[in-house]
Structure 1
Amino acid sequence: MSEPPGPGQPAGQRRPELPEHDATGLDLARQIAGGVGAGGRRRRRKSSEATGRPAGPQLSGSRPDDRDPQPLGTTMDRLLSDRGWRVRVSVALLLARWPALVGPVNADHSAPESFEDGDLTVRADSTAWASSLRAMAPQVVAKLNAELGDGTVRRILVRGPDAPSWKHGPRSVRGRGPRDTYG
């Protein structure tokens, strides 16, 4: 049996078999999506130089690594170690507790000034307080090294008060000037 020709179709030709009609339109949507993805213009991926991101996989695994957020304490420890500031910061933090190291009375009359190459320089109010601190310097060095590590502080240099200069002006007199306990 032959089907009658359709409108606009010459007699004697068969009408092609059409697929069954899909009322939901899913087949048509799939054909359009497949045509858009496969043909036409393709999007070009930006290079890693254009985005500013390094090339390669950027996934963080299940273990923590350097790309994960780090606690501030860990970051500061790494910075102090990398820069070689650990000893200086430890000494500065310990010297901030100067009254606990030498006692409140001695701390009222003295103050640490500098720390360089294992030598701690301390300035005293008078020569009497400087002599007192010189006498207790070995015990202070032992306390500092117990908390900072052996050999961190080698010695304490105790300085007396700064003396005023008596050598000013055109009419200065030779000699030591007025006597007092300036060091």
Structure 2
Amino acid sequence: MTDDERDAESSADAGTVPETIATYLRLRGLEPSPRAYRRRRRRRGADDDENQPFTGGRDPHGLGDVISNLTRESGWDPQLAREDVVRAWDEVAGEDTARRTRPVAFHDGVLTVQADSTAWAKQLQLMRAHILTEIMRRFPEAGVETIRFIGPDVPSWKWGPRAIPGRGPRDTYG
């Protein structure tokens, strides 16, 4: 192809290819092709859409939305839901019950709640279904499957290498 043919072809293509791209391609020694330009433009249009101003998804997000997305993507939602159960225990169990009990552990879907006395622990075992339903309704992400109620934390009389098997002292606490 001679220089005259190139000039004629590039002047014919000049109407379809922008002048700046034609100049760039001419200086690089490449021939401007309108078909390649259109393909490249279509492909670039889909990729660069997120970088264009005033397009969808470009609005600023609120801090609550950003933190919610962060906790969801990081996998923190179940742990935060369990913390919410502990924080809202007085609303879930009721004020009287919450004054005499407190959640102490959560392991493998079992929420352990410690009561002030063994009588309260036994009474709460009868209310287990109601409390568990309320927890599942309010905090489904927490993963609470069952609740275990225990009495007060009393010292153990069985410690040391020479502990004797048996029931030990009775009617001392609770």
Q: Please name the residue that 1:163 is paired with.
A: 154
Count of aligned positions: 127
Gaps of 5+ in 1: 1-56
Distance 1:180 1:60, change over 3 A: farther
| Equivalent residue for 1:102, pick from 90, 93, 99 | 93
Secondary structure at 1:146 match in 2: helix
Consecutive unaligned residues in structure 2, runs of 5 or more = 1-47
Q: 1:74 to 1:158 in 2, by over 3 A?
A: same
The structure whose RCO (Cα within 8 Å, separation 6+) is larger is 2
Aligned sequence identity (%): 37
Matching of residue 71 in structure 1 with residue 40 in structure 2: no
- Kindly indicate whether residue 54 of structure 2 is the aligned counterpart of residue 62 of structure 1: yes
Between the aligned partners of 2:64 and 2:142, the Cα distance in structure 1 is 26
1:164: Cα distance to partner?
0.8
Deviations for 1:19-75, whole angstroms, at most 9, x for unmatched residues? xxxxxxxxxxxxxxxxxxxxxxxxxxxxxxxxxxxxxx8955213658x75422112
Deviations 1:156-175 (A, max 9, x none): 01111222122457997664
TM-score by structure 1 length? 0.56
Aligned pairs for 1:104-183 (under 5 A) are 104-149=95-140, 152-167=143-158, 175-180=166-171
CA gap of 1:106–1:151, structure 2 versus 1, over 3 A, is: closer
Normalised TM-score (structure 2): 0.59
Structure 2 distance, partners of 1:142, 1:80, is 25
Q: CA RMSD in A?
A: 3.2
Question: How many angstroms does 1:120 deviate by?
Answer: 1.1
Rg comparison, structure with higher value: 1
CA pair 75-94 structure 1, distance change in 2 beyond 3 A:
same
Structure 2: distance between partners of 1:169 and 1:153: 36
- Does the C-alpha gap of structure 1 residues 174 and 139 become closer, same or farther in structure 2, counting only changes over 3 Å? closer
Larger helix proportion of the pair: 2
